[in-house]
Structure 1
Amino acid sequence: MLPVISLDGLIVLDAIDKKGSFSAAAESLFRVPSALTYTIHKLESDLGVKLFERKGQRAELTSVGQLVLRQGREILVAATRLEDAVKQLETGWESTLTLAIDTVVPNLPLLKLIGEFTDLGKQVNINVREESLGGPWDALYSGRADIAIGVTGEVPTGQYQIAEIGTLEFVFAIMPGHSLAQFQHPIPSEALLQFPSIVVADSSTALAQRSSGLFDSRQIIRVPDMQTKIKAQQLGLGVGYLPKHLIREQLVNGSLVACEMEMPRPSQSLFIAWRKGCQGKAQSWFTERLPKCDWQI
């Protein structure tokens, strides 16, 4: 069964309510009053209800009319959004853009950039998802994300474009008073066998999962993100390497102490990545600006 309520009927209903009379509504819609009268009479006839009470020159909505208008305005808003989305898609603007960011990358620069994008007034929904280790690559590969921020490791060639955003420097950091902190010389790798290691779980679902910064230890405790790993090591639940830029405050206030290792973990380059050949205007806007952000790394 086709709906009897048309968008034009809802537009007329909305205008009459806002202007208070058929004549004023007709003027605002650049129509003659008789055209509006016909539209409302047809709508009332199709619905089998009375929408307006005429009181002299004014027209007031009945309770049923108020219900139709209240829900009708939601339909009008949705229709306007759909029209805008179609127009933007025709001009190259996507309806949705998804950004996957690794938990080692501070998200404040990204949030500020999203704020700049919203000021453009484009009807593009932005999704931000957190990933870990191979997760950003996995999100890009599986289609869960359009842009991956903070990818590391072996960089695929051919189907992806990349841009470097910084270098990840690692520090072996533990809670104050930990027995390893008593070493007056670089800590040998075998000393770590006595303690649990805290590692961030790989969020990959399609690609093979990675192990990052693992070393021989008594026990492995896997946590969902880098912030949880930092807290766990502050509490002394285990030991491990941490990104230096994320623990500057903890190193200054003494809630974590850095230790020298016989075999330090090498630094890693961080990149943003996106798939070639399917780039809309929103993706182009972000990929142009993301490498220029101050990522505080």
Structure 2
Amino acid sequence: MSSRNPISIEVLEILDAIDRRGSFAKAAEELNKATSAVSYGVQKLEEQLGIALFQRQGRRSVLTPAGQLMLEEGRRILSTTVRLASAAKEVATGWEPRIRVAIESTQACPLFYDILAAFLQQHASIEIDLSECTLNGGWEALDKGRVDLIVGAPGPVPLQKGYRAIPMGTGILVPVIASQHALASQTQDSDQLQAVLPKLRRIILHDTSQADIARSEGLSSGGQNFYVQTIEQKTEAIIAGIGIGHLPRQRIQGLLDKGVLQELDLGVTNNPENFLAWKISNKGKGLQALTQMLAAAHWE
């Protein structure tokens, strides 16, 4: 066997065509080759590998187990080469192969994923690398070049950073307690609530900022805190009766309607303004197309 790899894109295309069209002659017609050339290509590969790819069954040639493996893996290689060619062409014309997106943990997700799905239908070769951020974490990730786009990051927008920031409206954060919490019955009257508030543990979402000064947002307290990494963890901790905290209304309206959670009347609202932001210096056409779709959405 030659030390040179005998498996070429051309011979993989021949195997694929033979299998799909059912014969060497029809495969040759599709590939615009002579039938003898198709037969020779298969025979040469068999000789170089020292294996049989086809065996005769009556008048038909069918793949051997080794031939079937060659066909299946070969199709994956052909698919990869198609994507590679498309990605290379897009990069050459200003379309980046991957967009890194960070979404704020409190952001309602269904609309966001619907937009991503529509974007990927139009730009199937672009990869999306999605992460979650909280408070200053998104701005820091954008500043350090870890992400290309942040969605739903809370204001204020950092100044003199070269950002393009588009308001996405205000998020509605609701202070809640679990109905099963031992002190829940004492939180429905405003006077009782103020008296019992210092006894209630606060569930706090970690700021994902790594280098900049982290901040927290929500219920202030001199009492005990319980820290979590994600909004899902915060929701579950509150439902379990561990403590209280702010949660985005769009995510928990069903739990409020079912009576699993109760809203706390603190007399103040916490509705931070959220932003869609990216660096002006990023000229990627994929990013431009995605931000246009996100900016046109109705987030409230």
TM-score, normalization by structure 1? 0.85
Q: Secondary structure at the match of 1:279?
A: coil
Counterpart amino acid of residue 238 in structure 2: Q
Number of the residue aligned with 2:97: 95
Structure-1 separation of matches of 2:246 and 2:53:
69
Structure-1 separation of matches of 2:238 and 2:34:
74
Q: Secondary structure at the match of 2:237?
A: helix
Structure-1 separation of matches of 2:258 and 2:297:
27
Number of the residue aligned with 2:290: 286
Number of the residue aligned with 1:113: 115
Number of the residue aligned with 2:266: 261
Q: Is the 8 A contact 1:98 1:146 kept in 2?
A: yes
Q: Is the 8 A contact 2:96 2:126 kept in 1?
A: yes
Q: What RMSD, in angstroms, separates the aligned Cα atoms of the two structures?
A: 2.8
1:224 aligns with 2:258: no
Q: Which moved more, 1:40-49 or 1:246-255?
A: 246-255
Number of the residue aligned with 1:181: 187
Counterpart amino acid of residue 163 in structure 1: I
Structure-1 separation of matches of 2:162 and 2:263:
40
Number of the residue aligned with 1:28: 30
Number of the residue aligned with 2:51: 49
Q: Is the 8 A contact 2:177 2:244 kept in 1?
A: yes
Q: Secondary structure at the match of 1:129?
A: strand
Counterpart amino acid of residue 184 in structure 2: H
Counterpart amino acid of residue 35 in structure 1: A
1:148 aligns with 2:150: yes
Structure-1 separation of matches of 2:128 and 2:51:
42
Q: Deviations over 1:151-180 (max 9, x none)?
A: 114312332111000113444333445265
- What stretches of structure 1 of length at least 5 have no aligned partner? none
Q: Cα–Cα, structure 1 residues 192 and 14, in superposed 2: closer, same or farther, change >3 Å?
A: same
Q: Cα–Cα, structure 1 residues 181 and 31, in superposed 2: closer, same or farther, change >3 Å?
A: same
Q: Cα–Cα, structure 1 residues 44 and 260, in superposed 2: closer, same or farther, change >3 Å?
A: closer
One of 210, 213, 223 as aligned partner of 1:208: 213
- 1:245, distance to aligned residue in structure 2 (A): 4.0
Q: Deviations over 1:207-248 (max 9, x none)?
A: 332222352332110122223323433443222334444443
Counterpart amino acid of residue 74 in structure 1: R
Structure-1 separation of matches of 2:59 and 2:178:
79
Q: Cα–Cα, structure 1 residues 34 and 250, in superposed 2: closer, same or farther, change >3 Å?
A: closer
Q: Is the 8 A contact 1:160 1:274 kept in 2?
A: yes
Number of the residue aligned with 1:12: 14
Number of the residue aligned with 1:160: 163
- What stretches of structure 2 of length at least 5 have no aligned partner? none
Q: Is the 8 A contact 1:241 1:265 kept in 2?
A: no
Q: Is the 8 A contact 2:107 2:248 kept in 1?
A: no
Counterpart amino acid of residue 163 in structure 2: Y
Structure-1 separation of matches of 2:257 and 2:119:
35
Q: Cα–Cα, structure 1 residues 211 and 94, in superposed 2: closer, same or farther, change >3 Å?
A: same
Q: Cα–Cα, structure 1 residues 257 and 27, in superposed 2: closer, same or farther, change >3 Å?
A: closer
Q: Deviations over 1:30-51 (max 9, x none)?
A: 1122322332233223223333
Number of the residue aligned with 1:71: 73
- % identity of equivalent residues: 34
TM-score, normalization by structure 2? 0.84
Q: Which moved more, 1:120-129 or 1:57-66?
A: 57-66
